[in-house]
Amino acid sequence: MTVLLRENSAAVATKPISIAVCAMGGQGGGVLVSWIVSLAEQCGWIAQSTSVPGVAQRTGATIYYIEIAPADPAGRMPVLALLPTPGEVDIVLGAELMEGGRAMLRGLVTPERTTLLVSTHRSYAVEERINPGDGRIDPAPVYDAAAFAAKKVIAFDMEQVAKEAHSVISAVMLGALAASNALPFPRKAFEDAIRNGGIGVKPSLAAFDRGFARTTGDMPEPAHPVAVEPAVAPFSPSGVAAFDALLHAAAGLPSGAATMLDAGLRRVADFQDVAYADAYLALVREFALKERAQGMPELTIEAARHIANAMAYDDVIRVADLKTRRTRFSRIAAEMGVAAGQPLSITEFMHPRVEEVLGLLPSGLALMLEKTGLGRLLMGRFLRRGWRVRTDRLRWFVLLSITAELYRLRPVSLRHKREMRHRDEWLDLTRAALEQDYDFGVEVLRCRRLVKGYSDTHARGLSKFDRVMTAVGVMVDRPLLQGKAAVWTRLLREAALKDPEGTALEAALARFQRGAMA
């Protein structure tokens, strides 16, 4: 982009350096921009920065734009652009892999001039998170596009490097920028820009050093950048005699399912009690006896996984229990980097529905309130809006702790009776499917994956699950050719996982009616 001078209408041959920074909230994008502006100005250049803010909660990143130009000896001031122009950006910094991909889609990265610096870690977008199945975007096309879209690419996990230095990613990105030689400034000038900022200087300089070294190859990326906790052997004793007896009994089931069985037992016992875990093990054992003699014990593994999920569902009691655990407060403090003696405040947003509160009550009373409409009349106004509550304060912590203790009354609640009836109907369909075809039975078990989450998410998943089970019931009553029922069940399940609205499932059910049931 040619620099135009206010004092002279003729174009000057000097070209500025244009820099685009794509960053999300909390990644220090504004700080990075201030460092770059300070860097240019202390080196005698003229700098201008602008920003286009994105939407909160990871639905969009803020795009910062910087133009820098050497000062004119005659004192004339350049007219610098306010926004990046596709095809005319020299440096693009992406604070997350997909932000680098979006910069390429916008045309900001070109093979003739752009140096692309991008962190390879992922912070999943809302669109990826709300997908009922695995909505993660495949990163491979981004790497492939970067290879030919940019003049030079510098890519590594800058987020992990920042964590190692107990700093933020912006400092690592500045170090990578300094090492890239894309700017005509010495390393000391970059470091002085951090010092002049005056905030978090020591950790920022440490992160800068690591980013510089990783870029130049003086500190190669480790083969295993994320520490993995040592695995605990399945069926390791817990110290509770009754539960350890269940673990011992589970050890006699197919060995290939040991890890899943151990996890399922512990989850169900944690949800309710040892007797509840005993009932879970009895159900899994029933399906293990139907296991095929050869190969991986798919039936036992899927039964162990999905029966545990069906029995350890998310209700108000479970949510209250998880929010008041000591380990949760410790984890949040560690994630926030809270030092000893520093205060920590935790604000939660809670919005239970009338149905969830009614589900806590004994089934007889809850059904009466539900059928007569008194429950919605009495609770509707109170539950119309959600609350922002401080769980780090005594009042709400005590209220949630009392709610968590209601697990003792859970077996007589309306929600529990409905969940268990729903579980039994699903397992009855699974048994009927197994009588026709082993693979059909396995696929029916896997359909339980559709039911997850809490509140509206749970209701949507349950609706899809019920529709798929209706189709399964049709196939049980009207057997298809060998293997066809398993294929149709898998196709319907995968369609249900494609989108939250259920559009793909509607189309798949229509094909099912035209095809399998013709």
Residues 6+ apart with CB under 8 A from 177: 36, 91, 93, 117, 183, 190
Helix axes 169-180 and 29-42, enclosed angle (nearest 10): 40
In a domain, residue 349? The reply is: no
Strand partners, 115: 91, 152
Distance CA 95, CA 264 (A): 38
- pTM score of the predicted model: 0.74
Tens-binned pLDDT, residue by residue, of the chain (518 aa):
323 333 333 333 357 899 998 877 666 788 999 999 999 999 999 999 998 776 544 445 788 999 999 988 888 888 888 888 899 999 999 988 888 888 898 899 999 999 999 999 888 776 677 677 777 777 888 888 888 899 999 999 999 999 899 888 999 999 999 999 999 999 999 999 999 988 889 999 999 999 999 999 866 555 444 444 445 678 888 889 999 999 999 998 988 899 999 999 999 999 999 999 999 999 999 999 998 766 679 999 999 999 999 999 999 999 999 999 988 988 888 877 787 888 888 888 888 888 888 999 999 999 999 999 888 888 888 888 888 888 888 999 999 999 999 999 999 999 999 999 999 999 999 999 999 999 999 999 999 999 988 778 888 899 999 999 999 999 999 888 778 999 999 999 999 998 888 899 999 999 998 876 55
Q: Are 158 and 24 in contact (CB under 8 A)?
A: no
| pLDDT confidence of residue 55 | 55
Structure tokens at 55: 């939407």
Of 411, 441, 436, the C-alpha closest to 286 is: 441
Distance CA 197, CA 110 (A): 32
Residue with tokens 């922002």: 388
Q: Give the end of a domain, one of 216, 243, 265.
A: 216
Q: Give the end of a domain, one of 164, 194, 216.
A: 216
Domains held by the chain: number = 2
Distance CA 82, CA 5 (A): 16
Distance CA 461, CA 426 (A): 14
CA dihedral 244, 252, 289, 231 (to 10 degrees): 70
Structure tokens at 199: 């905030």
Q: Is 372 exposed, middle or buried (0-12, 13-18, 19+ CB in 10 A)?
A: exposed
Label each residue of 466-514 as H, E or C.
HHHHHHHHHHHHCCCCCCHHHHHHHHHHHHHCCCCCCHHHHHHHHHHHH
Distance CA 64, CA 73 (A): 28
CB neighbourhood size of 191 (10 A): 20
In a domain, residue 83? The reply is: yes
CA dihedral 159, 164, 167, 173 (to 10 degrees): -40
Q: Are 115 and 149 in contact (CB under 8 A)?
A: no
In a domain, residue 22? The reply is: yes
Q: Is 348 exposed, middle or buried (0-12, 13-18, 19+ CB in 10 A)?
A: middle
Residues 6+ apart with CB under 8 A from 488: 471, 475, 480, 512, 516
In a domain, residue 94? The reply is: yes
Residues 6+ apart with CB under 8 A from 231: none
Residue with tokens 């052997």: 233
Q: Are 70 and 80 in contact (CB under 8 A)?
A: no
Helix (H) or strand (E) holding 3: strand 3-5
Q: What are phi and psi of 94, to 5 degrees?
A: -110, 120
- Residue by residue, DSSP assigns 410-465 as GGGBHHHHHHHHHHHHHHHHHHHHHHH-HHHHHHHHHGGGG--SSTHHHHHHHHHH
CA dihedral 32, 36, 37, 39 (to 10 degrees): 130
Distance CA 153, CA 361 (A): 60
For residue 253, give the 3-state DSSP assignment.
coil
Q: What are phi and psi of 133, to 5 degrees?
A: -105, -140
Residues 6+ apart with CB under 8 A from 196: 38, 42
Task: Find the angle CA(111)-CA(17)-CA(100) to the nearest 5 degrees.
Answer: 50
| pLDDT confidence of residue 223 | 46
Distance CA 81, CA 6 (A): 14
| pLDDT confidence of residue 350 | 84
Residue with tokens 């095929």: 292
| pLDDT confidence of residue 84 | 87
| pLDDT confidence of residue 231 | 55
Of 360, 350, 493, 376, the C-alpha closest to 418 is: 360
In a domain, residue 353? The reply is: no
Domain enclosing residue 24, as ranges: 3-216
In a domain, residue 47? The reply is: yes
Which CATH number belongs to the domain containing residue 212 in this structure? 3.40.920.10
Residue with tokens 């202390």: 42
In a domain, residue 237? The reply is: no
| pLDDT confidence of residue 481 | 78
Distance CA 41, CA 47 (A): 7
In a domain, residue 88? The reply is: yes
Q: Give the end of a domain, one of 184, 216, 248.
A: 216
The one-character DSSP state at 218 is S
Residue 146 Cα to chain centre, angstroms: 24
